[in-house]
């Protein structure tokens, strides 16, 4: 690159930073498009709409309630991936949709879940709404090239049989779709429909087709519902949580920038600039893709920031190695980017595979986590391989060419990690076993293996109207301690009802005596009229179906990652070792949850998923170096020496990357409110466990499989 091009590149990078900064801080136009303040926040960060439905059917079964909740969850995810649906009492269902404030609009668009029937012209019921598996709006083109809008129906096996018989008997006649005794469509039957798929055409617009499809979907519930109440609730975490999280992120990034500049000198400065650009792009894209940001989403961003730092560390560690061999700075830069490419691509793609699978198959917080993680991975690869490259070559072009500015790798003494493998395995085994034993002891004593929170176990929801309007921070400091003392619940959740003095307080399930004690405490401490306090039992927000979806998605993601690693590394032992290391890191975090008794709630899933992504990425880097060394292996060199050298060569990368990620989370832990601390602490443990496994477990595992458990390669 010529000097003039280098200057131009730096000017363009500066302009990009200014543009991103202006966009995220101010925004464009009257609507301040692109401004960070316009990012949609979840119910836990910014509040939203809460709607309670009453089941009209008498004595609904557990299966009917569970099926209805699951289908409603899928339905409301069109508004936000972080929307949650859970049971309240025995015959009520509560829906919480973050990022919106107009309950009436939501209710109108969502539609009143009611009965749906398909009737022939004589009024006979052809099929019920429960016979419809799915309904979606579609756009097609006719023979003249004009667009046609309609609804595609997919029926259940039982519905397919009934609909085939009905359409065969009603060719040329209409079959009306009736919702709550109102005819919403009367399509004509042109032929027998026996394949389980039907097409309703004749819509004037896509919006009309989408509205019909939505009504059919909501009418496909097993239970008939009616609106009981709706309100706009305040954030669960409050403005303080948002401000402290932003402050923590800024401080964490500043520490990372200083660290990178000290360790990697000029390349560290270049990577810091690239990380600033990365942060700006992420904030703009969160706006562009209308992503709802919640704590699990923040976890995905933290992980992607760690991977963005990791990519730069891998590149510039390689550059230092190349400079140490006597190569010119220009040659070292070229070789550094080339040799780091495979590790960066494989590590990021492996994690991206997991994010895509989780995004497609998961629901709720899992989907939200997957969205921000996938977005972050793509942007981190772009900034590391494109932006950082442009900046460092531009700095070189304008005259910053001294090898002293790029650092040189001191000669490393190869450490014998394999000789310590028994000790390493024993340490991990003791930690995991201790966690398992404690889970068993807790279960035997009548306690659950983990301290399950409301999201998993359900509890009691009490609505208390106070005499004054308490802020979120005052609720956290004044009301919550009293509730904890009287209920003995350390994991109290609160929601402030907007434009009122009411606060929704969620605790573990309270019996009648405990509810009376709760009411008395509210009356004595805050002057509340106890007769106005209402309480309902609520189900877990994370339903059994959602947990099943998350587990299945995680298993499929793991299998897909295993297949990718097997293909890329051409050795099943690499893939198997990586999965075992992943399992190790998850078990260590589970052991910590068991020992610390931190509440296992909605963020638990995001925490585990973060550890999975981080574990795979760290493992890939070491395996990439082993693969590279195997290709250049001397004929008489011992495999153990090669493995030890590979781990030693990547040691600083493992430590530095995990340190920078740990710093980001640690600052969040120190500055965050209590709920954020409970989220950050297990992540910190996971990062430490992942560092240990990537250095002391993965290489030895692969070595054992290579030399002991299978026949040696000829």
Integer CA distances (angstroms), 343 to 289, 527, 568, 618, in order: 29, 62, 11, 10
CA dist 140 and 392 (Å) reads 50
Question: Residue 159 is part of a domain; what is its CATH number?
Answer: 3.30.1360.200
Q: Who contacts 549 (Cβ-Cβ below 8 Å, separation ≥6)?
A: 361, 362, 363, 366
Residue 265, domain member (yes or no): yes
28 belongs to a structural domain = no
Nearest to 200 by CA among 155, 135, 122, 128: 135
- Taking the whole predicted model, whether its pTM rises above 0.85 is answered as no
Residue 492 sits in the same domain as residue 534: yes
In order of 140, 160, 186, the CA distances from 203 in angstroms are 11, 24, 12
Buried b (16+ CB within 10 A) or exposed e, 468-501: eebebeebbeebbebbeebbebebbbbbbbbeee
Q: Report how many domains make up the chain.
A: 5
Question: In the prediction, which pLDDT does 528 show?
Answer: 92
Within a domain: 443: no
Q: Is the pLDDT of residue 135 over 90?
A: no
Task: Tell me the pLDDT band of 168, cut-offs 50, 70 and 90.
Answer: very high
- Tokens in use for 604? 């638990």
Predicted local confidence at residue 714, as pLDDT: 42
Q: Is 266 in the same domain as 161?
A: no
Domain end: 505, 538, 571, which one?
A: 538
Same domain, 319 and 382: yes
pLDDT mean over 458-463: 87
Residue 712: pLDDT above 70? no
Is 448 part of a structural domain of the chain?
no
Q: In what order do the strands lie in the sheet containing 176-179?
A: 125-128, 116-119, 176-179, 182-185
228 touches 52 (CB < 8 A): yes
- Domain match, 280 and 353 both: yes
The number of CA neighbours under 13 Å toward the Cβ of 169 is: 12
- Token output for 437: 């034993």
Interatomic CA distance for residues 155 and 196, integer angstroms: 5
Q: Is residue 442 part of a domain?
A: no
* DSSP state, residue 713: P
Could you give the residue ranges of the DSSP H alpha helices within 289-364?
295-324, 329-361
Q: How far is C-alpha 243 from the geometric centre of its chain's CA atoms?
A: 21
In the predicted structure, residue 103 carries a pLDDT above the cut 70 = no
Domain co-membership, 423 together with 480: no
Q: Are residues 677 and 569 in the same domain?
A: yes
Indicate whether 333 pLDDT > 80: yes
Residue 291 belongs to a domain with what CATH number? 1.20.1640.10
User: In the predicted model, is pLDDT for residue 164 greater than 90?
Assistant: yes
Q: Give backbone dihedrals phi and psi of 2, rounded to 5 degrees, phi first.
A: -75, 160
Residue 53: which CATH number? Answer: 3.30.70.3400
- Residue 679 CA to residue 690 CA, distance in Å, equals 17
3-state secondary structure of 629: helix
353 is a domain residue: yes
| pLDDT of the residue at 704 | 92
Phi, psi (deg, nearest 5) at residue 493: -115, 140
Parent domain of 165: 116-220
Q: What is the pLDDT of residues 440-455, one digit of tens each?
A: 998 888 778 888 777 7
Q: For residues 296 and 365, state if they share a domain.
A: yes
**Whole-angstrom distance, CA of residue 496 vs CA of residue 502:** 6
Phi, psi angles (nearest 5°) of residue 187: -70, 150
Q: How far is CA 585 from CA 307, 549, 565, 601, 611, in A?
A: 17, 22, 18, 19, 7
Asked if residue 351 and residue 257 are part of one domain, the reply reads yes
- Choose one of 201, 233, 265: the last residue of a domain: 233
pLDDT at position 147 over 90: no
Say how far residue 163 (Cα) sits from the centre of its chain.
40
Q: Which residues pair with 50 in a beta bridge?
A: 96, 231
Put the strands of the sheet holding 132-141 in their side by side order.
Answer: 132-141, 147-155, 197-203
| Segment 491-513, tens digit of pLDDT | 788 888 877 889 989 888 888 89
Q: Is residue 60 part of a domain?
A: yes
Asked if residue 577 and residue 653 are part of one domain, the reply reads: yes
Instruction: Summarize the confidence of residues 682-688 as an average pLDDT.
Output: 89
- pLDDT tens across 643-684, in order? 999 999 888 888 888 888 888 888 878 877 666 777 788 988
Using alpha carbons, select from 359, 405, 407, 355 the residue that is nearest to residue 379. 355
Mean pLDDT of the chain: 84
Question: Does residue 30 lie within any of the structural domains?
Answer: no
Of 615, 603, 569, 617, nearest to 679 (Cα)?
Answer: 603
Q: For Cα atoms 184, 190, 194, give the angle at the middle one, nearest 5 degrees.
A: 95
- Boundary-marking domain end, from 492, 511, 538: 538
CB contact burial 249-269 (16+ within 10 A = b; e otherwise): bebbbebbbebbbebbbbbbb
Pairwise CA distance, residues 554 & 559, whole Å: 9
Q: Is residue 510 located within the same domain as residue 553?
A: no
One domain for residues 136 and 67: no
Question: What DSSP state is assigned to residue 325?
Answer: T
Based on the domain organization, do 329 and 469 belong to the same domain? no
Q: Evaluate if residue 211 carries a pLDDT over 50.
A: yes
If we measure between CA atoms, which residue out of 320, 344, 314, 340 comes closest to residue 332? Answer: 320
Quickly state the pLDDT bin for 237 (edges 50, 70, 90).
low
The token pair at 571 is 């050795």
């Amino acid at each position: 690159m010529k000097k003039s091009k280098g200057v131009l590149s730096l000017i363009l990078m500066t302009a990009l930073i200014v543009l991103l900064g202006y966009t995220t801080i101010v925004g464009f136009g009257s609507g301040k498009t692109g401004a960070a303040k316009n990012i949609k926040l979840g119910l836990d960060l910014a509040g939203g709409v809460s709607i309670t439905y009453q089941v009209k059917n008498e004595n609904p079964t557990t299966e009917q309630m569970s099926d209805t909740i699951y289908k409603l969850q899928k339905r409301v995810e069109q508004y936000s991936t972080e929307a949650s649906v859970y049971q309240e009492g025995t015959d009520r269902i509560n829906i919480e949709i973050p990022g919106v404030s107009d309950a009436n609009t939501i209710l109108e668009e969502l539609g009143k879940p009611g009965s749906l029937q398909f009737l022939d012209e004589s009024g006979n019921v052809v099929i019920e709404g429960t016979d419809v598996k799915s309904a979606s709006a579609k756009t097609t083109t006719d023979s003249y090239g004009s667009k046609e809008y309609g609804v595609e129906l997919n029926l259940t096996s039982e519905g397919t049989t009934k609909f085939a018989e009905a359409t065969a008997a009603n060719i040329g006649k209409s079959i009306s779709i009736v919702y709550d005794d109102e005819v919403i469509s009367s399509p004509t039957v042109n032929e027998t429909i026996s394949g389980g798929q039907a097409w309703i055409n004749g819509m004037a617009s896509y919006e009309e087709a989408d509205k019909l499809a939505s009504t059919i979907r909501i009418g496909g519930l097993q239970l008939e519902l009616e609106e009981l109440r709706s309100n706009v609730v305040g954030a669960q975490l409050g403005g303080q949580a948002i401000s402290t999280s932003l402050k923590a992120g800024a401080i964490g990034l500043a520490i990372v920038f200083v660290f990178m500049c000290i360790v990697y000198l000029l390349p560290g400065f270049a990577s810091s600039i690239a990380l600033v650009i990365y942060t700006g792009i992420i904030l703009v894209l969160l706006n562009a893709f209308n992503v709802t940001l919640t704590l699990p989403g923040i976890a995905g961003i933290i992980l992607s920031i760690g991977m963005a730092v990791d990519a730069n560390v891998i590149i510039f560690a390689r550059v230092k190695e190349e400079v140490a061999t006597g190569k010119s700075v220009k040659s070292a830069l070229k070789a550094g980017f080339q040799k780091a490419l495979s590790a960066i691509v494989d590590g990021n793609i492996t994690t991206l595979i997991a994010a895509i699978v989780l995004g497609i198959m998961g629901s709720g917080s899992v989907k939200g986590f997957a969205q921000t993680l996938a977005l972050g991975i793509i942007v981190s690869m772009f900034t590391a391989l494109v932006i950082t490259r442009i900046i460092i070559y531009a700095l070189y072009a304008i005259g910053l060419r001294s090898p002293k500015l790029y650092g040189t790798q001191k000669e490393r003494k190869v450490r014998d990690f394999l000789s310590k493998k028994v000790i390493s395995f024993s340490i991990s085994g003791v930690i995991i076993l201790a966690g398992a034993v404690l889970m068993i002891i807790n279960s035997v004593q009548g306690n659950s293996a983990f301290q399950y929170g409301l999201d998993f176990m359900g509890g009691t929801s009490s609505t208390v109207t106070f005499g004054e309007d308490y802020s979120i921070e005052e609720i956290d400091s004044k009301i919550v301690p009293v509730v904890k003392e009287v209920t003995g619940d350390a994991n109290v959740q609160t929601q402030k009802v907007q434009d009122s003095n009411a606060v929704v307080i969620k605790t573990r399930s309270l019996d009648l005596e405990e509810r009376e004690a709760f009411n008395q405490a509210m009356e004595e401490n805050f002057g509340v009229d106890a007769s106005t306090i209402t309480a309902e039992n609520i189900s877990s927000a994370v339903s059994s179906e959602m947990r099943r979806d998350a587990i299945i998605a995680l298993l499929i993601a793991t299998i897909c990652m295993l297949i990718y690693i097997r293909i890329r590394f051409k050795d099943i032992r690499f893939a198997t070792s990586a999965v075992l290391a992943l399992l190790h890191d998850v078990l260590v975090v589970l052991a910590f949850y068991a020992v610390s008794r931190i509440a296992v709630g909605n963020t638990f899933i995001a925490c585990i998923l973060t550890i999975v992504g981080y574990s795979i990425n760290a493992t890939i880097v070491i395996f990439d170096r082993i693969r590279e060394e195997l290709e250049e292996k001397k004929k008489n060199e011992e495999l153990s020496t090669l493995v030890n050298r590979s781990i030693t060569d990547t040691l600083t990368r493992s430590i530095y990357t995990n340190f920078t990620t740990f710093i980001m989370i640690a600052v969040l832990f120190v500055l965050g409110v209590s709920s954020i601390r409970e989220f950050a602490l297990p992540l910190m443990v996971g990062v430490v466990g992942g560092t240990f496994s990537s250095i002391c477990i993965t290489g030895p595992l692969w070595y054992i499989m290579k030399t002991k458990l299978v026949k040696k390669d000829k």
